[in-house]
Amino acid sequence: MPEMPEVETVRRSLQPLIKGKTIKKVVVWYPNIIMGDSDQVAKRLKNKKILGIDRYGKYLLIRLSDDLTLVSHLRMEGKYRLVTPDTPKQKHEHVEFIFDDETALRYDDVRKFGRMHLVETGTEKQTTGIKNLGPEPNSSDFTLDYFEKALIKKKKNIKTSLLDQNIVCGLGNIYVDEVLWQSKIHPLSIASKIPAKQVNDLFNAINSTIKKATELHGTTIHTFLDADGSMGGFQDFLKVYGHAGEQCLNCGTTLEKIKVNGRGTTFCPRCQVEYK
Assigned domain for 274 exists: no
**CATH number (domain holding residue 35):** 3.20.190.10
Answer with the one of 110, 132, 154 that is the final residue of a domain.
Answer: 132
Residue 118 Cα distances to 28, 158, 235, angstroms: 14, 34, 33
**Within the chain, which residues score under 70 in pLDDT?**
1, 220-231
**257 and 168 assigned to the same domain:** yes
| 153 & 179 share domain | yes
In a domain, 273, yes or no: no
86 falls within a domain: yes
End residue of a domain, out of 84, 107, 132:
132
- Based on the fold, state whether residues 120 and 231 are members of the same structural domain: no
Residue 234: which CATH number?
Answer: 1.10.8.50
Residues 36 and 125 in one domain: yes
Using CA atoms, how far apart are residues 20 and 83, in angstroms rounded to an integer? 16
How far apart (Å, rounded) are the C-alpha atoms in residues 246 and 197? 28
Structural domain includes residue 95: yes
Query: Please, what sign has the CA dihedral across residues 252, 254, 255, 261?
Result: negative
Cβ neighbours of 263 (radius 10 Å): 15
Q: Which of 44, 58, 81, 154 is catalytic?
A: 58
C-alpha 86, offset from chain centre: 31
| Domain count along the chain | 2
User: Which of 12, 25, 263, 270 does the annotation list as catalytic?
Assistant: 263
Specify whether 257 is located in the same domain as 152: yes
The reply to whether 3 belongs to the active site is: yes
| Structural domain that includes position 51 | 4-132
Note the pLDDT tens digit of each residue in 254-265: 999 999 999 999
**What's the pLDDT at 219?**
82
Helix (H, G, I), strand (E, B) or coil at 258: strand
Same domain, 165 and 204: yes
Q: Closest Cα to residue 171, out of 47, 263, 250? A: 263
How much is the pLDDT for 238? 95
Res 2: pLDDT: 77
Per-residue confidence (pLDDT) for residue 218, from 0 to 100: 85
**Domain contains 195:** yes
DSSP of 113-150: --EEEEEETT-HHHHSGGGG--PPTTSTT--HHHHHHH
Residue 2 annotated as catalytic? yes
- Its pTM stands at 0.90
SS3 93: strand
Is residue 128 located within the same domain as residue 149?
no
User: Is 58 a known active-site residue?
Assistant: yes
Q: Which of 182, 241, 243, 240 is nearest to 207 (CA)?
A: 182
pLDDT at 43: 98
**Whole-number pLDDT of residue 148:** 98
Give yes or no: residues 153 and 263 share one domain: yes
SS3 272: coil
